[in-house]
Structure 1
Amino acid sequence: MGLTWTINGNHDIAFFQMNLYSNDLSRFQWELQYDKINALKISFNCKKVLKDRLRQVLDLIPTTDPFVTFPPDLRDILYSSNIKIGINGFNRIGRLVLRCALEQGIQVIAVNDPDPSACLQPAVHMVDKLKFDSANAYFKGEVFHKDKFIVADQVISALTVQRQTYVPPWDELGVEYVVETICKYTTIDEYKSHLQAGARRVIITVPSADAPVFVMGVNEDKYTGRETVLSSTLYTTANCLAPLVKVVHEKFGIVEALITTLSSSIRVQETVDEPSDKSGRSREAEQNILFANNITIDKAIGKIIPDLNEKLTGTSFIFPTLNVSLIDLTARLNKGTKYEEICAAIREAANGPLKNILAYSDDNSVPTHDIVDKHSLIFYAQAGILLKDNFVKLVSWCNNEYSDANRVMDLIKYIFKKDYEDKLKQSLE
């Protein structure tokens, strides 16, 4: 966008520049023609009326530093610290969302933990659950409590109500974005109570029956600004796998694919043999590899990459490991290629448009190296193999909970920025 000051319609004396598509809209620039401005002031010295009017106009142009910022109320509007979120549910994903928010500088106003096991002092209960996380490493930030929950100098309201239907007064608390981590509901209508309590957007971390799904690195550009309840999750494996599938499909075309996931232990497993409606999960988890289910990844991926609807399916197994899962994608491709070319395409995406979402590794890494890795997926180049020029096996690691929590924060920052840009464009039209 530009604004030009002219003399007689053909001489620029100043030019205002601002890129509406820049990552930093809090800065703009004046290109000034100082000689022409001074010449104008001299030429109008003898013309009283014109001189006063001209001085008023010229005073609008900065004459010291051509780089200026918006007025204080809009300055740094896009910084993460201006994003105010609340977390509903302090389960494993809720705690990781809090950790990721703090790591990314996002302001957490309140945490609601409708957990019947919580004691009468919710802050004490939350501190213990946050600090000591066996699966995702010890929390390094300073955590303590008085009458509130204090983490890394942020004072967070700690709410504990022993019923899951309770909705905090988000408007009174100053919360704009609510991250919903409780898996009880799956439809938009069931989450509208958060909007009625004052939240601008509700981001749910479970698959939804009707809420639009936005997976960072895959389809976040489909966000229009009209969505009030949205999901950041297709299915834990699908969320991790989708960026890799997108790269391979766009470059080589996926005709069909089978997926096998080797997941780490989950909460509902038994530590000793016990009766269960799911026979595989009734067995002692510490010594057995258990068949989990036939995953419905085909419909999940198809929601955000329509070309691949019903072209992918797979199975899932649970391994007796603490954290980090392995994903095996075996695909038949449209185009014949070499394994090195596939690796090159993935590496290019990891260093380019999917940076911080997809990682490329050709080291001798093992899952424990990736426990606190923020990427959705770490492609492990050494483990892949090509049978024919159009039939390939690709192997990757992922910490689906920690990476999902990071993508929730990325999505909130994207929405915040997009909403502000749209508002700015409307004001300039």
Structure 2
Amino acid sequence: MNSSRPLRLGLMGFGRTGRQLFDLSSASEDIEIVAIADIGRPDILLYLLRSEVEAPEQYYLEGNFVCGPRSRARLMSTDQPGEMPWDIFGVDLVIDATGVYRSAEVLRHHLQGGAPRVMLRSLPEDEIDRIVIPGINEDSISATDRLISAGSATTSALCLLLHTLAKEFVIECGSLTTVHAYTSDQALQDYAGGDYRRSRSAARNIIPNAHDAGRWLGHVLPAFAGKINTSTLNVPVQAGSLLDVTLVMEEPSVTAQAVNEVMRAGAAAQPERIGVVDDPIVSSDVLGSELSLLFDSQGTQRAGEHFIKTLSWYENRGHAKRMLEVARLYGNLGAVTEVA
């Protein structure tokens, strides 16, 4: 990237994550979103953006552009990666924020359209060049990376928790259940889909679901490969999620107080990503948080000699902010270097 100009991003999908990315980038001086691909009506896309931000009056339409304080993005009416001509916008990186396209084969369509690199908002379906979690493995990135992922909100929270605790304790194995807000691919009324449970109303039910974090964890934290089981409970809450993690510690002397102290040290070391809360908060209290992990000190419990249970909160805006961190990391590397 030319350091004399902002990092130029393209965005596919102007759903909740896409709108958060646009809002966050508009508040920065080093990033601008220059093109957005979405099939929604421009006036409705603007309406949704304004409904979610603290300063809605700063956003407006100007022809086919959605504009903010430091962003002026061309709206393109498509939802197909292969139809987007990223090269004409001179983008440095494209973020696929749809949550729909997760395979390397489909993501390469962005590259064919002129995107130097593509970042996936979620975990991939198959192997890509890199999964990057800021604060953990950003030193692993390479100028040859073209298909990348910033993980997911749940994956970032889990990795930061494990990474912080593993600095002081030996963790043998563990189990994660994320108590997660319902997602945009769930139906609000019972509707026949591809999965029995997820065909039931997200607004009326607690719905057990699988989660891919355990599958990809070893790519970010090799010491935990195959050691953490992961699952999800989607609950009738629109936003705000809870990370419920039970860990088996090698040493029988680990106390809840010791775990809390280590997490406080971790928060002090990475205050932009990790926080610790001592108040008895609930899910709505975390809305708008730009942290990836808000550790709940009241939720730490010891059971028997080796089990420690922890609770942590997170919200999608924190993940959006981490995605922009990853974009900056690659922007600082400069242009893509081809593999020899």
Return the TM-score normalized by structure 1. 0.71
| Code of the aligned partner of 1:89 | G
| Code of the aligned partner of 1:227 | D
| Code of the aligned partner of 1:376 | S
Larger radius of gyration: 1
The verdict on how the C-alpha distance between 1:275 and 1:188 changes in structure 2, with shifts beyond 3 A counting, is closer
Structure 2 partner of 1:143: 59
Q: CA deviation at 1:193?
A: 3.7
Structure 2 partner of 1:414: 329
Query: 1:349, 1:162 → 2: CA distance?
Result: 40
Q: CA deviation at 1:99?
A: 1.6
Match of 1:94 among 18, 23, 34: 18
How many percent identity over aligned positions? Answer: 21
> Is residue 248 from structure 1 mapped to residue 165 from structure 2 by the alignment?
yes
The verdict on how the C-alpha distance between 1:125 and 1:248 changes in structure 2, with shifts beyond 3 A counting, is same
> Is residue 130 from structure 1 mapped to residue 49 from structure 2 by the alignment?
yes
Structure 2 partner of 1:107: 32
Match of 1:362 among 278, 285, 301: 278
The verdict on how the C-alpha distance between 1:378 and 1:165 changes in structure 2, with shifts beyond 3 A counting, is same
The verdict on how the C-alpha distance between 1:269 and 1:192 changes in structure 2, with shifts beyond 3 A counting, is closer
Structure 1 partner of 2:221: 305
Query: 2:55, 2:182 → 1: CA distance?
Result: 21
The verdict on how the C-alpha distance between 1:356 and 1:283 changes in structure 2, with shifts beyond 3 A counting, is same
For residues 24-173 of structure 1, the aligned pairs below 5 Å read 77=3, 82-105=6-29, 106-113=31-38, 115=39, 118-119=40-41, 122=42, 124-133=43-52, 140=56, 142-147=58-63, 148-152=65-69, 154-161=71-78, 163-168=80-85, 170-173=86-89
Query: 1:162, 1:294 → 2: CA distance?
Result: 26
Query: 1:194, 1:220 → 2: CA distance?
Result: 23
Match of 2:317 among 402, 409, 413: 402
Q: CA deviation at 1:372?
A: 0.6
Query: 2:236, 2:279 → 1: CA distance?
Result: 24
Work out whether residues 292 and 314 of structure 2, in 8 Å CA contact, stay in contact via their aligned partners in 1.
Answer: yes
> Is residue 224 from structure 1 mapped to residue 149 from structure 2 by the alignment?
no
Query: 2:21, 2:314 → 1: CA distance?
Result: 17
**Gaps spanning 5+ residues in structure 1: where?**
1-73, 424-429
Query: 2:112, 2:48 → 1: CA distance?
Result: 30
Q: CA deviation at 1:198?
A: 3.5
Secondary structure at 1:343 match in 2: helix
**Gaps spanning 5+ residues in structure 2: where?**
none
The verdict on how the C-alpha distance between 1:275 and 1:250 changes in structure 2, with shifts beyond 3 A counting, is same
> Is residue 278 from structure 1 mapped to residue 195 from structure 2 by the alignment?
yes
Query: 2:123, 2:203 → 1: CA distance?
Result: 28
Q: CA deviation at 1:419?
A: 4.0
Q: CA deviation at 1:319?
A: 1.5
Q: CA deviation at 1:94?
A: 1.6
Query: 2:236, 2:163 → 1: CA distance?
Result: 30
Secondary structure at 1:383 match in 2: strand
Query: 1:153, 1:239 → 2: CA distance?
Result: 28
Secondary structure at 1:384 match in 2: strand
Work out whether residues 17 and 317 of structure 2, in 8 Å CA contact, stay in contact via their aligned partners in 1.
Answer: yes
Q: CA deviation at 1:274?
A: 4.1
RCO greater where, 1 or 2, for CA within 8 Å and sep 6 or more? 2
Return the TM-score normalized by structure 2. 0.88
| Code of the aligned partner of 1:409 | L
Query: 1:184, 1:285 → 2: CA distance?
Result: 19
> Is residue 347 from structure 1 mapped to residue 264 from structure 2 by the alignment?
yes
Q: CA deviation at 1:416?
A: 2.1
